[in-house]
Structure 1
Amino acid sequence: MTSDPKAPLTIRLCEPRGFCAGVDRAIQIVVLALKKYGAPVYVRHEIVHNRFVVEGLRERGAVFVKELSDIPEADRERPVVFSAHGVPKSVPADAEMRSMFYLDATCPLVSKVHKQAMRHQRLGRHVLLIGHAGHPEVIGTMGQLPEGAVTLVETVDQVTELTVPDEEKLGYVTQTTLSVDDTADIVTALEQRFPALTAPSSESICYATTNRQEAVKKAAPGTDMFLIVGAPNSSNSRRLVEVARRHGAADSILVQRAGEIDWQRMDGASVIGISAGASAPEIVVQEIVDAFRERFDIKLDLALTVAETENFPVMRDLRDTELAAADMAFLNGAMD
């Protein structure tokens, strides 16, 4: 008795995909801190928006808290790590007031946006921040400046209703993980309404967000389904779902693990696209590819747009820390 032959399926696998340099750095900081200082190491909020990574770090001794006040009094001398999304100035100030030892894992590209916003204000400009309300990065960026110094802009429709202190003294910055196309539309609308608007000194949307969206644009046309590996609270992952739908995919869904895939939705598909948000580990991408391989006779096509070589080193105090084999295996499994 022979089993039925597997249906053929082409998988267009986007490159680049998955971890960016900022996420890579943030995870390394937690792992290195655990090795150097021992457990527990506290982490304010999720270090990155990914359940696989958070659970893996928790197993190694990381303790995730919402606020610094949640850290027990007896552990106030333990290291606390700030997430890659950045924090308001009030957070390190609070840590110093409590005599806490903290490690700031803010992505350098998010820190760049903070500096751009502060430069606008220093030059007398009111700051318009293009981003999503409630996102940790937006909270962190707005928290670099005094209350009232920043106005959040989420959509083109909001532009006509904006009230600003002085239309001749405005500057804008953006969240790093936005849709490139949507942001361009908002900027155009802002420039039309406020001709004196000053752009940031360099692009605010980060290279990783742009590169992953370009790869999805290349791979999407003609796909029956496009899977984006990422968490529901990951802004850049949700944007990839939108990009896939806009640029030719019949449908697109967000999945965190292979076990979430509704295989009935894959019936009859001949071409599937796969990419991953900047906080999604490569090991999960391979898990999903393997799950397709079990069910289909797959052919892999690589949708390559650019090779990424960016690397953000960890802080000097952690650079000479040697990791155990198990820690290296965790980092390599997530990132390679």
Structure 2
Amino acid sequence: MNEITKIIPSTTAKDWASDQEVRWCPGCGDYAVLKAVQRTMPDLGVARENTVFVSGIGCSSRFPYYMASYGFHTIHGRAPAVATGVKLANPELDVWIITGDGDALSIGGNHTMHLLRRNLDCQFLLFNNEIYGLTKGQYSPTSRIGTRSPSTPFGSVDRPANPCSFALGAGARFIARAIDVHKALPDVLKAAHAHKGASFVEIFQNCVVYNDDVFASFTAKEFASERQLWLKAGEKMIFSGGTKGLSFDRDRMALTIVDATDPAVLVHDLKNRTLAQLLIEMPATAGFPVALGVIYEDPAPTFESAVIEQNRAVSEGKKVDLQALVAKGQSWQVEKEPRAE
């Protein structure tokens, strides 16, 4: 008998847009990310009824309402925990986690770390605007030193967290970066979805109200060519309109900028974890660009596959007997006492 293959109907971006009114501040970068995701979903060949978006708390966490799929708007920082439950209950589901820098790296830092180290098969999209937008502009874990906000009126003195560095340290096997309004965002989303395991994607997202243009030094059109390095596996790391490249200075054990024609220009190796760390933490000064695209990918067995295999091995050859399970250990039966005459 031939195996029956389920045919997934083709969809369009409109099919993935819900009937809910999208409510973000005018000009918010979240709009661009939402549209990018809705345009990308048809290209993935997935079914809406098998797709789940899980979010925590924050501006970005309204995302599930705007997708015509299943979704959970959970509690602050706990989206990874809920997503883990969803994936273990039905491993066939396509799970996306939508979160922000405060939601994922402050109250949710512990949950984010464990989801990445376990390598749950999901797409983890972290919207980083370096501020708490929903609660009116307090500084967040990724806010830069000197950030003035209602909670840091004299300027933040905290050293900011680096989301991708955090992910790499937690054991993530796929790490990427993108920009909310950049045309390459759908390609990054497709690469994340193709990866089997936890795909961590940091999206630089502009908050027009509380932290406008915080990323303008590399996202603005006049700086994009000079400051953006879009990585491609197996290709040389060249930027600045094809005139500059990255090399490795063995004396200083650090990346250095060289002419694009220099034979020492590095070729991007997705599985090189050390190189990934150097790219993630390139200095924001001295003419260095910002590494974008897929920075690191080295697949490993997923968490849910290990759980499923363990359950199969433990239950193999055993007979299902609910009554025996209930009566196991210390149990007793209460007999009905005879009625007195």
Global fold match (TM > 0.5): no
Higher RCO, 1 or 2 (CA under 8 Å, sep at least 6)?
1
Which has the greater radius of gyration?
Answer: 2
- Please report the TM-score for the alignment, with normalisation by the length of structure 2: 0.30
Name the structure where helix makes up a greater proportion of residues.
1
